[in-house]
Structure 1
Amino acid sequence: MKKLAPLTALLAAALLASSAGAQQLVKVKLQLKWFPQAQFAGFFEAQAKGYFKAEGLDVQLLPIGDQSPIQTVATGAADFGTTWITDLLTARQQGIPVVHIAQIFQKSGYTLVALKSSNLTKPEDFKGKRVGVWPSGNEYPAVALLKKYGLTTSLDSTVANPSVQAVTYPFDPSIVFPDKVDLVSAMTYNEVDQIVGLGYSLDKLQIFHASDYGINLLEDLMFTSQKVLDDKNFKGSGLSGREVAARLVRASIKGWNYAVRNQAEAVGTVLVNCGNTCKGSGTRSSAAGHQTWQMAEVAKLYNAGPTLKGMAGYLDPAVYKANVALLKSLGILKADPAAGAVDYGVWQMATGKKVK
């Protein structure tokens, strides 16, 4: 057998080592709640900066559109996901064993938007109006706000004469607003800017922030299935599912911290990963412009509560308790979720900090 020259042998060894290292990365699928956009900037930065790789993970970020991430994680099509807390807790109530492992956004960005010319100034004024809501569990914040003010909706089949007509539509406000609905669902970081792009400047809009009315239902969180957490040998990696979860959370928080501190760079990273859904509407149709707006707004939702105390990713037990109490009072939850609905152990492993 012909011997390799020393330099050639070294190069061959390096290539083999590199190949082995790549094979050792644990493949992980993270299901995003929507299409790629700045709403997920921290995850894209964790990927771009190599934070996932540094944790030994090869993370694939999966878009989903207007479906619920709960199903893809529950069925094993994805290992982890992001969703809203009401979506997760109602899934638990239905017997789906999904588990909250980290809280990314610490404040709700959900709003209902009307034209100021409609003369709607408070939730009580919504009686007899048409409200645009989203499907697949995304309607819960609107339902919670309406129920708090004694308003029933056409979403409840047990109500003969609902006081509010709910109009379900697939997220794009231009489909229904303002001709087909009086109020429309809008996230501060996305649809509000789209509505502005339709020609309705902020001074022409009446924006009802759900959190201002005590409906601070937490949004983007990280979750997984109990099956993943109980796995002693995740995908044959030699790591437990719990350890993989902690590594994923640790890298994700690092990515989010970087994205929020370096917003212009984060927007650039997002633009590399997204397509037409990165654009706004009409006069705000520039992808870069819309994502810059979005990044600034999601940074506000991230930089709140525990994050400001150096505990990014932590679910404040008091806020969680208030969310559960609100959902129970509205009849959305029938009882307190089981203790296993939230696993603080993953966050503790990821950060090295103790739950307070």
Structure 2
Amino acid sequence: MKKFALLSALLGLALLPSASAQSGTPAKPVQVRLQLKWFPQAQFAGFFVAQAKGYFKAEGLDVQLLPIGDQSPIQTVSTGAADFGTTWITDLLTARQQGLPVVHIAQLFQKSGFTLVSLKSSKMTKPADFKGKRVGVWPSGNEYPAIALMKKYGLTTSLDSTVSNPSVQAVTYPFDPSIVFPDKVDLVSAMTYNEVDQIVGLGYSMDKLRIFKASDYGINLLEDLMFTSQKVLDDKNFKGSGLSGREVAARLVRASIKGWNYAVKNQAEAVNIVLPLCGNTCKGSGTRADAKGHQTWQMAEIAKLYNSGPTLSGRAGYLDPAVYKSNVTLLKSLGILKADPAAGAVDYTVWQAATGKK
């Protein structure tokens, strides 16, 4: 009887939750694939910092940060090749319109960094002057801010097959401005944190450039956000971890925001964390072909996009409903969206669970 009692006691102890389970952390790290919108660079510094500082690990997550290049993260997440991703809000909402069940869970950049850049010698001073010009745009949904800006000023583009005589000739190019600017296009798409500095490196100093910031013209289409699929959110046992997809999402968002807050406050350290991960795309162009210099520029500009709106009131990662509504209204007015997105396009419960805020 004593042996039986001892055996029963041991079995009972074995069946008790482990210490890690009692604390809410999985006994084994949960494998998570996060699809980045581009190659490793300071644009994603917060994620790399969260990885380097152990913020993901502290949440019980083993996060793999996946580069993608000029493809759309929407495809990898919607097909299940990645669990979560980063993209722009226009890309996400147009994907929803096409029937892809992707869901916005956190808004990291609160201000658009999209610009169109020309030489001052071209004499263009306002969007109306784009008429008759050649404009360099990016593929895979990244052309929408440029289209929105031009449509707002009554300009049509060659991207619209229904227009027989477009007022602007769009030239699609693969993200490297040196391929097209200034010989093949009069204006070129450029992010404040990346291509603007690359253009400077090509020998065109800032005083020779005219930079049309989309946000200055009412086109503040939000960029880098975190999203996932409805399938992941509805998963009751994500990859057999014992955690629901929503809980994994909240842990990922919480650790990511912590990483972003640290990166923005410690920019030099963040750049040093990113540099070993950088390839040739991190070096800038021409006279600015220095990885550390270009990534330092990028980190400083990224910080401006992150430190805006809700972030300034302690609500990093929060999608301001008013800004979201204005983005939807703009996209509808331009015909990019045909109707209001379904309520499920944005899930605030993940951000609330991650931050403990409403």
Q: Which range, TM-score by smaller chain?
A: over 0.9
How do 1:77-116 residues align onto structure 2 when only pairs under 5 Å count?
A: 77-116=81-120
- Which of 196, 210, 216 in structure 1 is aligned with 2:214? 210
Determine the structure 2 residue equivalent to 1:249.
253
Contact 2:26 2:242 in 1 (8 A): no
Determine the structure 2 residue equivalent to 1:328.
332
Listed as ranges, the gaps of 5+ residues in structure 2 are: 1-17
Determine the structure 2 residue equivalent to 1:71.
75
Structure 1 residue 22: deviation in Å? 9.4
2:334 matches 1:297: no
CA RMSD of aligned residues (A): 1.2
Determine the structure 2 residue equivalent to 1:176.
180
2:263 matches 1:263: no
Structure 1 residue 90: deviation in Å? 0.1
Which residue identity does 1:146 align to in structure 2? M
Q: Distance in 2 between matches of 1:173 and 1:131?
A: 11
- Which of 330, 333, 344 in structure 2 is aligned with 1:340? 344
TM-score (norm 1): 0.93
Structure 1 residue 23: deviation in Å? 6.7
Q: Distance in 1 between matches of 2:180 and 2:108?
A: 30
Deviations 1:113-170 (A, max 9, x none): 0000000000000000000000000000000000000000000000000000000000
Determine the structure 1 residue equivalent to 2:7.
none
Secondary structure in structure 2 of the residue aligned to 1:348:
helix
Listed as ranges, the gaps of 5+ residues in structure 1 are: 1-16
Contact 2:120 2:209 in 1 (8 A): yes
Taking every aligned residue pair, what percent have the same amino acid on both sides? 88
Runs of 4+ in structure 1 over 4 Å off: 20-23
Q: Distance in 2 between matches of 1:303 and 1:323?
A: 19
Q: Distance in 1 between matches of 2:26 and 2:241?
A: 13
Determine the structure 2 residue equivalent to 1:43.
47
Determine the structure 2 residue equivalent to 1:148.
152
Q: Distance in 1 between matches of 2:67 and 2:55?
A: 20
TM-score (norm 2): 0.93
Which residue identity does 2:130 align to in structure 1? F
Q: Name the count of aligned residue pairs.
A: 336
Contact 2:34 2:85 in 1 (8 A): yes
Contact 2:26 2:241 in 1 (8 A): no
Contact 2:78 2:229 in 1 (8 A): yes
Q: Distance in 2 between matches of 1:62 and 1:202?
A: 33
Q: Distance in 1 between matches of 2:78 and 2:51?
A: 24
